[in-house]
Amino acid sequence: MAKLVLIRHGQSLWNLHNLFTGWVDVPLSQQGIQEAIQAGKKLKNEPFDQIYTSTLIRAITTAMIVMSENASGKVPIIEHDDLDAQHNDFMKIYSDAARINSIPVKKAWQLNERYYGELQGMNKDETIAKFGEAQVKIWRRSFDVPPPRGEALKNTAERAIPWFQKHIEPALQIGKNILIAAHGNSLRSIIMHIEQLTETQVLELELQTGVPVIFESTGSKIQRI
């Protein structure tokens, strides 16, 4: 039996200021840091084998803070697949003991937040005043209607779910315990796949910042606990 833990990053500075964030690389707020610490305490005794994050600093930081509280004593090591061969070799670990005591952290753009297009950086209340509450609700809460030059939840699901099927499901099937730190919409997409939610049901799914969602995997079945 393996465990899968999904966690939406802690509150970011743009969450704090009520701005559409999307792919803009904004760090955690003080509250977000505290949320990640509390999540780490809840997950203290979970022995993770692999960690995955989006490419955005708020998700990466959340994962690192969570692991700073972990009782395993293992060290999360961020992998950089964007380096050329020479510089990638610079990150090689030559100590067997250090390698055994590390957990690989892989970044995946497919886990990035939904791209909000021309709404990115705009205040949500001011956006309602400009475009009307009904239109903004359609952009935010419909499954397949994107904001101007942005992604709908459907588009996010189309990248997040195949990535999950390719990289995570096989690892769970061989008993790997996995932590994924990502974003509200990419994680909603993954949960939609796991729990076979309809397009209407996934729109009602809310994930709080910094709160872990835990699943158990037994072979081909993944179930929330």
CB-side neighbour CA atoms (13 Å) of 71: 7
Residues 6+ apart with CB under 8 A from 35: 10, 11, 209, 210, 211
Instruction: Identify the domain containing residue 95 by its residue range.
Output: 2-224
pLDDT for res 72: 96
Instruction: Give the active site residues.
Output: 9, 113
Query: What's the structural domain count of the chain?
Result: 1
User: At what angle are helices 133-141 and 124-131 packed, to 10 degrees?
Assistant: 120
pTM of the predicted model, to two decimals?
Answer: 0.96
Q: What is the per-residue pLDDT for 82?
A: 81
Copy the structure tokens of residue 174. 């061989």
10 exposure class (CB count in 10 Å sphere: 0-12, 13-18, 19+): buried
Ranges of H-type helices in 28-183: 30-42, 57-68, 85-89, 96-100, 124-131, 133-141, 153-167, 169-173
Query: The CATH number of the domain where 78 resides is what?
Result: 3.40.50.1240
pLDDT per 10-residue tile (average), the chain, 225 residues: 97 98 98 98 98 98 98 95 83 95 98 98 97 97 96 98 98 97 98 97 96 93 96
8 Å CB contact between 132 and 40: no
Residue 77 bridge partners (DSSP): 104
**d(C-alpha 3, C-alpha 5), whole Å:** 7
